[in-house]
Structure 1
Amino acid sequence: MQLSGEQEAIRKAVRDFAVEELQPIARECDEEARFPEEVWDGLADLDLTGMTVPEEYGGFDADPVTYAVVNEQVAYGTLAVATALSVHCLATSCIAGFGDEEQRERWLPEMVSGRPVGAFCLSEPGAGSNPAQMTTTAERDGDEWVIDGDKQWITNGSRAGVYIVFAKTGEDAITQFVVPGEADGLTVGPKEDKMGLRASDTTSLTFDGVRIPEGNRLTEEGRGLSAALSILTGGRIGIAAQAVGVAQDALDRTVEYVKEREQFGQPIGEIQAVRHKLADMETTTQSGRLLTREAARKKGEGSPDTAHFASMAKRVASEGAMDVTNEAIQLHGGYGYTSEFDVERLYRDAKITTIYEGTTQIQKTVIARGLLD
């Protein structure tokens, strides 16, 4: 899919930022399990923290294809930062898409600057792939709501100043709220010690009698789940794009390695079996990219099969990233299994793209439903 001149210029600017600012710190931040706050303001300077915010509130208001392109390029630098950015953008999308004018004016202009950071709080210890089973509740008390419950796997958990929280307001009713980070009764759990995506800040949250005003309710009572699912369609396209970025990073590093590494008196890139692996890696990466951009194009056009294509894109791109990073390690040989080479980190990072915002199995369910229904 051909990018417009503006989209190509944005792609290049973000790629340059990824190569110059993100890749040099990615390994160190992974080893230290530290989010690189020093680059967050750089994302804001590029208007990326306002990607899903309308222009009247100071945002970039990126079209879906541009949003996918940006996610791919940031992930090419490091998936940890790309994940933090995409979740921040999920939060701003919720306010922009479901908030009233007063709510938009209250939160969006500051969030465009990257501060406060946004978080999206849907998953729970017992309700991941099936959010309808959540147990977090919000009960009305006069002009306030009182929220009780636990959330898990919250990206930007300890960094956020604005939490988009989904809670039950009735037996089968889920509603969406904005909870400020300084709210009394909100406790942030310790950071998860993860296999990959280690530089990304992932925590649990506990809500113990957290009181917020009626003005912090984003959706009509009972409309929160449908709102979440509509937002997650765009989120899945973003995750697919991030998976493509990880795959492209692994492929590029591998191409350079096989040009330099010699065995049997020649660079291993001259060996036919190695070339065949590279051909598969390139085809897999490009397939994920094209399907992701097609899903983004459909979203921009308001196509009724956007969710169908978003799930196909996430399934193909995320599983493709696993395949490409696995082959990258194989072609690096023993070196690929050490932390000295970045393909080991990329392999660990790639796995999460098959899990968050809907596992591969959930994507297959959505795809099949689209065929049968």
Structure 2
Amino acid sequence: MLHHLSPEQQDSRRAFRAFAERVLMPHAARFDAEELLSRDSILSLAEHGYIGSMISPEFKGRDFSPVQYGLLSEELGRACQSIRNFVAVQDMVAHSIEMWGTSAQKERWLPGILSGETVAAFALTEPDFGSDAAAVRTTATSAGADFLLTGTKKWISFAQTARLFLVFAQLAGEHTAFLVERDDHRLQVEPIKGLLGLRGSMLGSIRFDECRVPAESMVGGPGFGLAWVAANALDLGRYSTAWGSVGLAQACLEACSGYADARRQYGTQIKNHQLVQQLLADMVTDTMAARLLCHHAGVSKEKSDVDAVHHTLMAKYRASTVAVRVASDAVQIHGAQGIGADSPAQRHYRDAKVLEIIEGTTQIQQTLIGGFASSAAR
């Protein structure tokens, strides 16, 4: 029993877990091996209202609270990190459209994203920059009533299958966001395969060669791209990743608990060996601590706390590093069983390392949190 959750939140958590265990978990290894998500799983997410779940009911969203959304992200991450990443990316784009888009953009794109019919991608990262988002080199130039986009994006989740891209470019020196449809022949996608983890995320590189987009595709206004559209979307992505990291750690803890109870060495179950007990003790303690940090971040969001962004940074930083340690120890406890191709432990270990990189590396989180430390200490 998680006493920090309300009865309604606990009911939601049980529903999320039941769905993830029934619909997603049996296919997680296949998604990883094939580097591809199934269409059936995406449509199941949509049918349950788990894509764009924080969007207003006006657009078929479920208006989830931040804590409720966090609980969903944890259970999706416990089952399959590529699926959790899919939901996070769709939500980052949908949330950006709802917050900053025009009425026409909302009416055109939100129903399709939330129904699973339109896959969206968040196209910010480029070959020569990642964390330094201000260094974007993709350009937008005026061409009558349209804009021409030129540049390259890389490491873009779901670029292989996306119909809609939220693209960030420099417009006369100002960071600006655009909604770009895939059907322009001057937009080319090259798949990226063989990733360390989150292999079902269907990453790709996108090349824009004077790709023509209408003026009404702009999201917000000139100069809104980085400070408003991207910043808010990335905060949501970090929040999902933080909770998803807790889900991964929980999956490792559960797998190790069962294995340590069943596995016998030197005449006894390995759970009776002190060094294994030490690993399990750190696992359960660190996982709970990370979960409480994520919950704190969610409550901060619900209360519109001025420090909510920093609380999310701390949650993502700690939860992702916990996920790596717990997954590493899970492989260790499973021994040779943990390094096999069919072992969930080795998949969790690979996925966990990626969680330390996406939505801001551990080192970037540390830098930002370090700057916040002096005010937090007052």
* TM-score bin, normalised by smaller chain: over 0.9
Aligned residue number for residue 125 of structure 2 = 123
Give the letter for the 1:283 counterpart.
Answer: T
CA distance in 1 between partners of 2:89 and 2:73 (Å): 11
Runs (4 or more) in structure 1 with deviation over 3 Å come to none
CA distance in 2 between partners of 1:102 and 1:23 (Å): 37
Aligned residue number for residue 217 of structure 1 = 218
The runs of 5 or more residues in structure 1 that have no matched partner are: none
Give the letter for the 1:308 counterpart.
Answer: H
Which digits, 9 at most, give the CA deviation of each residue in 1:23-43, with x for residues without a partner? 211112212222222211110
1:9 is the counterpart of 2:16: no
CA distance in 2 between partners of 1:82 and 1:12 (Å): 17
Q: CA deviation at 1:372?
A: 4.1
Aligned residue number for residue 266 of structure 2 = 264
Q: CA deviation at 1:230?
A: 2.3
The runs of 5 or more residues in structure 2 that have no matched partner are: none
Moved more, 60-69 or 130-139: 60-69
Give me the CA root mean square deviation.
1.3
Give the letter for the 1:127 counterpart.
Answer: F
1:355 is the counterpart of 2:374: no
CA distance in 1 between partners of 2:151 and 2:233 (Å): 22
Q: Pick from 334, 345, 349 the counterpart of residue 336 of structure 2.
A: 334
Give the letter for the 1:45 counterpart.
Answer: E
CA distance in 2 between partners of 1:104 and 1:34 (Å): 28
Aligned residue number for residue 208 of structure 2 = 207
Identity of aligned residues (%): 35
Which digits, 9 at most, give the CA deviation of each residue in 1:71-98, with x for residues without a partner? 1101111101111111011010110111
Aligned residue number for residue 183 of structure 2 = 182
Moved more, 185-194 or 67-76: 185-194
Aligned residues: 372
CA distance in 1 between partners of 2:346 and 2:126 (Å): 30
Which digits, 9 at most, give the CA deviation of each residue in 1:182-226, with x for residues without a partner? 123111112332011112211111111111111110111011101
CA distance in 1 between partners of 2:208 and 2:135 (Å): 17
Question: 1:231/1:287 Cα in 2 relative to 1: closer, same or farther (>3 Å)?
Answer: same
Give 1:38-187 correspondences, 5 Å limit.
38-171=40-173, 173-187=174-188
TM-score by length of 1: 0.97
Give the letter for the 2:104 counterpart.
Answer: E
Mapped contact 2:155–2:192 kept (Cα < 8 A):
no
Aligned residue number for residue 230 of structure 1 = 232
Aligned residue number for residue 197 of structure 1 = 198
TM-score by length of 2: 0.96
Which digits, 9 at most, give the CA deviation of each residue in 1:144-199, with x for residues without a partner? 1111110111111112111111100022x100111112123111112332011112
CA distance in 2 between partners of 1:164 and 1:61 (Å): 22
- Where 1:51 maps in the other structure, the secondary structure is coil
Q: CA deviation at 1:3?
A: 2.2
Mapped contact 1:115–1:161 kept (Cα < 8 A):
no
Q: CA deviation at 1:283?
A: 0.7
- Where 2:147 maps in the other structure, the secondary structure is strand
Give the letter for the 1:75 counterpart.
Answer: G
- Where 2:188 maps in the other structure, the secondary structure is strand
Which digits, 9 at most, give the CA deviation of each residue in 1:323-370, with x for residues without a partner? 000111111112112123210110001111100110001101110122
Give the letter for the 1:174 counterpart.
Answer: H
Moved more, 315-324 or 188-197: 188-197
Aligned residue number for residue 276 of structure 1 = 278
Give the letter for the 1:199 counterpart.
Answer: G
